Structure 1
Amino acid sequence: MRIRRAGDRGLLIETDAPHRLNAAVRAAGLPGVVDVVPGERTVLVTTAGDPGRLAGLLPGLPLPDDDAGDAAPVEIPVVYDGADLAEVAELAGLTVGEVVALHGGADYTVAYLGFSPGFGYLTGLPERLHVPRRESPRTAVPAGSVAIAGPYAAVYPSRSPGGWRLLGRSDLPLWDVARTPPSLLQPGTRVRFVEAGP
């Protein structure tokens, strides 16, 4: 764990387990903590108090093994008819059915949120499905598109540009401003993709 100052009131912590450190900081009730924001390999902690004092407390925090506890995974129904499904199969040296089985058979964890509100970067994608992003991003990816890129899986919560490879689509709303919190997925949430009918 490497801790660096980030402005007057922040600490940027480099870690191999950002979603677990996020859960540990939130659960510890450390004095003065204002916000905790996990990223791919970092966690930003802002404080109303003394950042130096807080930095001394962080290395001793025990990290949970599973910050989702006994919570059941969020099940995301997927119709596997994505525009890039056949291309992913070709890149991976698999059949379309094998891609669907691998993607739907894995257990995922939300590592962090980013890119757009409610966009969860999910770890746990089988290595056979680690394919690169598209060379040319689409200008508009429909909300609910289930996609993969590199080591991550995701669902686009809203219509946006994007370069991930589309495997299918889901009707499950991931972002809803009337919900508290608005994002269905949070760092540490476990996720399963479940094949649905057309």
Structure 2
Amino acid sequence: MRFLPCGDQGLLVEVGSLEEALGLYRSLEREPPPGVTDLVPAARTVLLRLAPGADPARVEQDVRGRDPVSAGREPGPPVRVPVHYDGEDLDEVAELTGLSAAEVVRLHTGCEWTVAFGGFAPGFAYLTGGPRALRVPRRTESRTRVPAGAVGLAGEFSGVYPRSSPGGWRLIGRTELAMWREDRDPPALLRPGARVRFEEVGRS
């Protein structure tokens, strides 16, 4: 682990992999060190926000004693996301992977995904844990508008667009579930560490 100060009240922890970052986040969320007020995971880092007066050295000592690999899985049932698999890029994803469209859907729904971290827009979750066969590159040109609820693939990740926005992920379907609602506590449906299962409800 590498520790870097981040502003006046932050400590950035760098680790070696996405799996370690997610494991460390789970461990810290379950038992946060004294003085830590918030956690922000990313692909290979976890940002710790500290309360005024917190001792960064003591927090670092606590974090160094964690074993991210043995942090375990998020308890409780997975979040189920119903998807109409009629995305604009479904056939292209099938061609890129050497699969049929039906096989793409079967693989996407046949595993349990995990929210690694959020980003890009409020409510957008980067989901990991999918099969290697579904790893496809982003589009060479981003769309100027991707509708809210679009389900896409990019690299090792899957994700759901929480609102209409530009985007370069390959779209394989859509869901009517709201990823972000300000009247919900918490507003984001998919939070880091949560487990997710996609379910097919229709496909053209």
**Match of residue 72 from structure 1:** 77
Partner SS, residue 181 of structure 2: coil
Cα RMSD, aligned residues only: 1.2
Q: Is the aligned partner of 1:185 residue 2:197? A: no
In 2, the alpha carbon distance for the partners of 1:80 and 1:50 equals 50
Q: Is the aligned partner of 1:132 residue 2:131? A: no
Partner SS, residue 12 of structure 2: strand
Q: Spell out structure 1 runs of 4+ moving beyond 3 A.
A: none
**Within-5 A mapping of 1:116-155:** 116-155=121-160
Q: Contact between 1:9 and 1:50, CA under 8 Å: does it hold in 2?
A: no
Q: 1:39 aligns with which of 42, 51, 58?
A: 42
TM-score of the two chains, using structure 2 as the length reference: 0.92
Q: Contact between 1:145 and 1:155, CA under 8 Å: does it hold in 2?
A: yes
Q: Deviation of residue 197 (structure 1)?
A: 2.7
**Match of residue 96 from structure 1:** 101
Q: Residue type of the partner of 2:72?
A: D
In 1, the alpha carbon distance for the partners of 2:140 and 2:5 equals 36
Q: Deviations over 1:149-175 (max 9, x none)?
A: 000000111111100000000001111
Partner SS, residue 99 of structure 1: helix
In 1, the alpha carbon distance for the partners of 2:45 and 2:95 equals 34
In 2, the alpha carbon distance for the partners of 1:106 and 1:184 equals 19
Q: Residue type of the partner of 1:19?
A: L
**Match of residue 82 from structure 1:** 87
In 2, the alpha carbon distance for the partners of 1:132 and 1:111 equals 19
Q: Is the aligned partner of 1:157 residue 2:157? A: no
In 1, the alpha carbon distance for the partners of 2:32 and 2:44 equals 22
Q: Deviations over 1:85-135 (max 9, x none)?
A: 000000101111111111111110000010000100000121111000000
- 41-50 or 176-185, which moves further after superposition? 41-50
Q: Contact between 1:80 and 1:195, CA under 8 Å: does it hold in 2?
A: yes
For these two proteins, the number of residue pairs brought into alignment is: 196
Query: What stretches of structure 2 of length at least 5 have no aligned partner?
Result: none
In 2, the alpha carbon distance for the partners of 1:29 and 1:106 equals 30
Q: Deviations over 1:51-99 (max 9, x none)?
A: 1221111111244211x11x11111001110000000000101111111
Partner SS, residue 151 of structure 2: strand
Q: Is the aligned partner of 1:2 residue 2:11? A: no
Query: What stretches of structure 1 of length at least 5 have no aligned partner?
Result: none
In 2, the alpha carbon distance for the partners of 1:163 and 1:43 equals 26
Partner SS, residue 127 of structure 2: strand
Partner SS, residue 192 of structure 1: strand
| Identity across the alignment (%) | 51
Q: Residue type of the partner of 1:2?
A: R
Q: Deviation of residue 28 (structure 1)?
A: 1.8
